[in-house]
Amino acid sequence: MPNIDDIGHTIATALKAQLEKLDIYKRFTSLVSHGAKCLRQTELAFLMPPLCVAKDDFKVLVS
């Protein structure tokens, strides 16, 4: 049976494919990841949202 993606998933996949080619986007995601890791080690860690699965990050953008 073929897999039929919803429109949100299709757009997220296309957006991810485009953005991953950009060095500035790679740098941005690296900085955000580093900042989150640093924040988790402080007393302000309670302000952090729950961790997301990386493959769902783009799907959240189009929801």
26-57 pLDDT per residue, tens: 999 899 989 888 988 899 888 887 776 655 55
Whether 57 maps to a domain, the answer reads: yes
pLDDT of 58 > 60? The answer is no
pLDDT of residue 56: 57
Whether 1 maps to a domain, the answer reads: no
* Residue 3 per-residue DSSP state: -
CB atoms within 10 A of CB 62: 15
- The rounded distance, in Å, linking the Cα atoms of 8 and 12 is 6
**Tens of pLDDT, residues 8-19:** 888 988 998 999
Q: Supply the range of the domain harboring residue 25.
A: 7-62
Tally the domains of the chain. Answer: 1
